[in-house]
């Protein structure tokens, strides 16, 4: 198996990526704890590429990174790349978003995920993006997931991300779509 360093120190994100890349022939490992990368890009793709490239250069291994967030139509795409920094906790982020939306009728939104894979020399070998459209509810529903999941409603499933089983969420989510389109190209990277 070929080692690929995941540009995160979060073991939960490592497990999530492993679930998407099962049977891919890649062994995923966490980046060194001391390696910190500031997300300075103005798009999800720019941040994913930046993180993958810097981790690959620092470790001398293949690297994979993702960046994702929520984009609300009525808020001109906010919180966007600042989704994780929209508050200190998930509940603060949700409260701020709901407050900014107020009684807005247009609740359309999307989760976007960009994934990048870098070669050991830091050059980007693959990029992918997934989008899941939905709506923002007026109040949280469900106990699963994390982040904005309790207020992100997918009309086709009549569930929030927080109400979905992990398998269902993985199959329709922005992250699931981004990784699914990468999967077929991963094997040729080793050739």
Which residues are tagged catalytic? 67
Q: Which of 3, 38, 4, 2 is nearest to 115 (CA)?
A: 4
* Tokens (6 digits) for 48: 């994913």
Please, what is the angle between helix 174-189 and helix 11-20, to 10°?
70
Site of tokens 């009728």: 105
Distance CA 181, CA 191 (A): 18
Distance of CA 175 to the CA centre of its chain: 5
Residues whose CB is less than 8 angstroms from the CB of residue 46 and which lie 6 or more positions away in sequence, other chains included: none
Whether residue 67 contacts residue 8, with contact meaning beta carbons closer than 8 Å, is answered with no
């Amino acid at each position: 198996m070929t080692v690929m360093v995941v540009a995160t120190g979060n073991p939960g994100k490592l497990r999530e990526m492993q679930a998407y890349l099962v049977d891919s022939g890649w062994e995923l490992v966490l980046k060194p704890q001391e390696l910190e990368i500031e997300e300075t890009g103005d798009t999800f793709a720019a941040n994913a590429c930046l993180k993958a490239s810097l981790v690959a250069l620092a470790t001398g291994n293949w690297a994979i990174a993702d960046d994702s967030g929520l984009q609300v139509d009525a808020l001109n795409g906010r919180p966007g790349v600042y989704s994780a920094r929209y508050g200190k906790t998930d509940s603060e982020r949700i409260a701020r978003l709901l407050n900014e939306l107020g009684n807005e009728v247009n609740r359309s939104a999307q989760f976007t995920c960009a994934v990048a894979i870098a070669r050991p020399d830091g050059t980007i070998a693959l990029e992918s993006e997934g989008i899941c459209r939905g709506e923002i509810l007026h109040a949280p529903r469900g106990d699963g997931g994390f982040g904005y999941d309790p207020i992100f409603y997918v009309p086709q499933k009549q569930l929030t991300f927080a109400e979905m089983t992990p398998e269902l969420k993985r199959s329709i989510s922005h992250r699931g779509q981004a990784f699914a389109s990468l999967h077929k190209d991963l094997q040729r990277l080793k050739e």
